Structure 1
Amino acid sequence: MKPILQLLHFGYHQAMSCIFPVAIFGTLFLSSAIEIPFLHRYDAILIILLLVQYIMYRSGLETWDEIKVICVFHLIGLLLEIYKIKMGSWSYPEPGYTKLLGVPLYSGFMYASVASFMCQVWRRLKMDMTGWPGLVPAGLLGGAIYLNFFTHHFIPDFRWWLTALVVIVFWKTWILFRVRETTYRMPLTVAFFLVGFFIWLAENIATFFNAWKYPDQHLGWQMVSFSKISSWFLLVIISVIIVAQLKHVKASRKN
């Protein structure tokens, strides 16, 4: 009976941590099925997601610190989107007033939803880490990963070298999380891969509902390349590095 209760408790907190990502995909689905009068689809999505964030904050589902982290990730994602659109990696073909250099402003919420999940699940499962490598190695690695998303268009792609560095740098790092009175642990690199895989699944759903299109999807939807899992794997690492460091700074201030 206890394993079932543990699983239900764990599943509940995972589901509650996914409220914002679920809101995003729900909005994408509804906006693709129902035409909103007087508004372009991209503009309507932005308004709805801003409203969802406001409701989550006012209801206590999201804290002010978590809102600030989400804003940081929204900006990081938006800058990356603008660059990727310019390089022709994917496109947002529909019209909209809230587009910046061809990128709808709502797109940053795709990245911010990862941060929302990280912050929520960290708080709900009372997560902690052991063997954290420290700000300098983790920060340099996170910066190199983010930079590689830009530079691989004109110099060799170092993602597999960076992936190897991730394994080396975080070899001794474990995530601790608590389900009721029991503490569990998992290698951080395994957690990176699992989250990256589920984001890839979500990306397939998003492109199916025309959130954006890859070049090979313009003639008809098809599954997103498996190689994108490695991209999300590396992006999740950036998310965890920033969230973990902010949590560490906040804990230090309390002490």
Structure 2
Amino acid sequence: MKSIIQLLHFGYHQAMSCIFPVAIFGTLALSTVIPFPSIYRYDAILLILLAVQYLMFRSGLETLDEIKVICVFHLIGLLLEIYKVHMGSWSYPEPAYSKILGVPLYSGFMYASVASFMCQIWRRLRMDMTGWPGLLPSALLGGAIYLNFFTHHFIPDFRWWLTALVFVVFWKTWIIYRVRSVTYRMPLSLAFIIVGFFIWLAENISTFLGAWKYPDQHESWHLVSFSKISSWFLLVIISVIIVAQLKYVKAKRSVQS
């Protein structure tokens, strides 16, 4: 009975942490069947997601610090989207006023939703880490991963080398999380894989709902390649590195004050 209660509490916090990602998928789903009069679909999605973020902040579901992190991820994601669309990796075929170089502004929120989940679950489960490699190794690895998303179009793809390096750098790192009064732990690399897999599932839903299209999906939709899981695995690492480092800095300032 105790295990069931723990699982229910864990599920509740996971669900509450997914409010913004669910809002994105809900908006994408509704916008495919409900026409928006006098406004393009991509523009309507942007306005709805801005309203959701405002309501989450005003209601206390997100803090000001979390909003700042989400904005950082929105910018990181938008820059990557602009580059990838330019290189023909995928496209946003529908018209919109809120497009920059072929990329609708709402697309950055899909990356920001990962940050929203990370910030929410970190706070709700009172997460901590042991064996964190430190700022320099983690920052260099995160920077190399992000850069590889750009450079693999011109030079060899170092994705698998970087993936191996992740396990080397974080092999001593464990996530500590708490459900009620019980403390649990999990290898950080395993958490990367789990979250990356679920984002891949979300990507399949998103492409099915027309959030964007890969070149081989223009004629008809089909499952996104399993190789994309490795891309999301690496993207999650960037998210965790930034969130963990900001949490560490904030905790250090609190102790000093």
Establish whether residue 183 from structure 1 lines up as the match of residue 178 from structure 2: no
Show the counterpart of 2:247.
247
Aligned positions of 1:77-226 closer than 5 A: 77-226=77-226
Q: TM-score, normalised by structure 1?
A: 1.00
Q: Distance in 2 between matches of 1:39 and 1:194?
A: 38
Deviations 1:92-126 (A, max 9, x none): 00000000000000000000000000000000000
Q: Distance in 2 between matches of 1:32 and 1:157?
A: 35
Find the residue that maps to 1:129 and give its secondary structure: strand
Partners of 2:217 and 2:197 in 1: CA distance: 20
1:27 Cα shift? Answer: 0.1
CA distance in 2, matches of 1:168, 1:209: 38
Whole-angstrom distance in 1 between the partners of 2:48 and 2:114: 18
Quote the offset at 1:155 in angstroms. 0.2
The offset of 1:36, in angstroms, is 0.5
Partner of 1:236: 236
Deviations for 1:167-203, whole angstroms, at most 9, x for unmatched residues?
A: 0000000000000000000000000000000000000
SS in structure 1 opposite 2:39?
coil
Q: 1:165 is aligned with what amino acid?
A: L
Aligned-pair identity in percent equals 82
Scaled by the length of structure 2, what TM-score is found? 0.99
Distance 1:32 1:56 in 2: 24
Question: 1:87 and 1:128 mapped to 2: Cα distance?
Answer: 39
RMSD value over aligned CA atoms?
Answer: 0.2
Give the gaps of 5 or more residues in structure 2: none
CA distance in 2, matches of 1:38, 1:251: 48
2:190 and 2:165 mapped to 1: Cα distance?
A: 14
Shift of 1:245: 0.2
Q: What's the offset of the Cα at 1:204?
A: 0.2
1:156 counterpart letter in structure 2: P
Q: Which runs of 5+ in 1 are unaligned?
A: none
Paired with 2:176 and 2:31, the residues of 1 have a C-alpha distance of 39
What is the distance in 1 between the residues matched to 2:230 and 2:24? Answer: 22
The runs of at least 4 aligned residues of structure 1 exceeding 2 Å deviation read: none
**Equivalents in 1 of 2:161, 2:226: separation in Å?**
18
**Aligned counterparts of 1:33 and 1:121: Cα–Cα separation in 2:** 32
Alignment partner of 1:28: what SS? helix
Give the equivalent residue in structure 2 for 1:60. Answer: 60
Provide the residue aligned with 2:13 in structure 1: 13
Letter of the 1:27 counterpart: T
1:2-81 → structure 2 map (5 Å cutoff): 2-81=2-81
Counterpart AA for 2:74 = H
